[in-house]
Chains A and B, each alone.
Chain A
């Protein structure tokens, strides 16, 4: 069941959040102090998203488009092409999980990311996609673990036999599977993080640079 509001409402929420983010933190009236990069990850995310939203909105406006109104199917296709890009995707990365993630470099979103993360979009794409999927990579490794496979097979045999009529009969098998999963997950995640250290370092460096650039994009706090 959808839990989020539809697009136009979400866009309005975003605009309101941008205003709140950029108009707060007032200092002495009339003075402008150099803004700081937020220390908290969530605040950093919000700053980056504010900047990206500002850049994307400007870019779309230059093309006579907006995020804020309900579009027909044809209009939305135009918006999709302007925002996300069109034609064959220029960026591509195959993850150890087997997914080939792709993205375009010709839309307003790609433009905004170039402004924030720099012109070497391939480096950012590789770092972002890899780091975003460390948990998925750990999950793929878990699927190969004999203890996990055994617990999963036991649970699946039980649920197949019990059918939906009596799922509570498999509570013990479910608990055993959950126990194996919670035991394996931290160690596999640590393993994967160590393996992807280069991408993690690049991700942190590029994100930090983007945070500084984002401060130049969102209206100055005064």
Chain B
């Protein structure tokens, strides 16, 4: 179950979002993503099949590449430990960064990044 595709997002909606932070309905439950891992789900609100990684992946498997609809960073922080996750629109950390998540942050859906991720890397910061 996908929420929206990029092509369905009108410019007016994007412009509205640019006006600032908007409160939206949060997912009903926390994401089930193993401690120390970054997770991506094929459906919104952490539903459907889940991919999880404790390290980098420059080329997501085909079932999740461009099929990702929600994400969670359950990385563990520590000095010298890369605990932020950057998601990219193309393989091998190419294209543009679609989102960067600090530990504990989750994205139940995204109008823009839905079905857009191809790779990710852990980083010290965004």
B110 touches A100 (CB 8 A): yes
Closest to A46 in B: B79
Whether A100 and B99, one on each chain, are in contact in the complex, defined by CB atoms closer than 8 angstroms, is no
In the complex the two chains form, is B104's CB within 8 Å of A136's CB? Answer: no
On whether the beta carbons of B113 and A99 are closer than 8 Å, the reply is: yes
Chain A 1-40, CB-CB to B under 8 Å as 1, else 0, gives: 1111111001101110110110000000000000000000
A77 smallest CB distance to B (angstroms): 7
Report the minimal beta-carbon distance from A209 to chain B, rounded to whole angstroms: 18
Among B54, B82, B105, B111, which residue has its beta carbon within 8 angstroms of that of A98? B111
Is A71 engaged at the interface, CB distance under 8 Å to the other chain? Answer: yes
What sequence of 0s and 1s flags, for each residue 75-97 of chain B, a beta carbon within 8 Å of any chain A beta carbon?
Answer: 01111111110000100000011
Q: Are A67 and B30 in contact (CB under 8 A)?
A: no
Whether A49 and B77, one on each chain, are in contact in the complex, defined by CB atoms closer than 8 angstroms, is: yes
Does A13 lie within 8 Å of B81, measured CB to CB?
yes
Residues of chain B contacted by A10 (CB below 8 angstroms):
36, 54, 76, 78, 81
Identify which of B29, B32, B78, B98 contacts A14 (C-beta below 8 A).
Answer: B78
Which of B79, B100, B110 is in CB contact (< 8 Å) with A49? B79
Interface residue tally for chain A (C-beta within 8 Å): 71
A3, B55: Cβ atoms closer than 8 Å: yes
Cβ contact within 8 Å between B56 and A1: yes
A94 to B69, CA, bound (A): 15
Q: How far is it, in angstroms, between the C-alpha of A51 and the C-alpha of B18 when the chains are bound?
A: 34
* B108 contacts A97, C-beta separation under 8 Å: no
Asked if B1 is at the interface (CB within 8 A of a chain A CB), the reply is: no
| Chain B interface, number of residues (Cβ within 8 angstroms) | 59
Q: Is residue A45 within 8 Å, beta carbon to beta carbon, of the partner chain?
A: yes
Describe B's contact surface by its main secondary structure.
loop
| Beta-carbon contacts under 8 Å, B38-85 to A | 53-58, 74, 76-84
Whether A132 sits at the interface, judged by CB under 8 Å, is yes
Inter-chain contact B35/A79, CB cutoff 8 Å: yes
Q: How far is the CA of A30 from the CA of B56 in the complex (A)?
A: 44
Cross-chain contact of B112 among A79, A86, A93, A97 (Cβ < 8 A): A97
Q: Once the chains bind, are A95 and B57 in contact (CB under 8 Å)?
A: no
- Contacting residues of chain A (118-158) with chain B, CB-CB under 8 angstroms: 126, 128-133, 135-136, 139-140, 142-144
Q: Which residues of B contact A102 (CB under 8 A)?
A: 26-27, 105-108
Do A139 and B78 have beta carbons less than 8 Å apart?
Answer: no
| 20 A-B pairs (CB sep. < 8 Å) | A3-B56, A4-B55, A4-B56, A7-B76, A14-B80, A17-B79, A18-B78, A50-B78, A53-B78, A87-B29, A97-B110, A97-B113, A99-B107, A101-B107, A104-B30, A109-B103, A132-B125, A136-B97, A139-B96, A140-B96
Ordered nearest first, which 9 A-B pairs have the shortest CB separation?
A14-B78, A2-B55, A7-B36, A139-B96, A98-B112, A98-B111, A132-B126, A46-B79, A17-B79
Which residues of A does B touch, CB under 8 Å? 1-7, 10-11, 13-15, 17-18, 20-21, 42, 45-47, 49-50, 52-53, 56, 67, 71, 76-77, 79-81, 83-90, 92-104, 107, 109-110, 126, 128-133, 135-136, 139-140, 142-144, 181
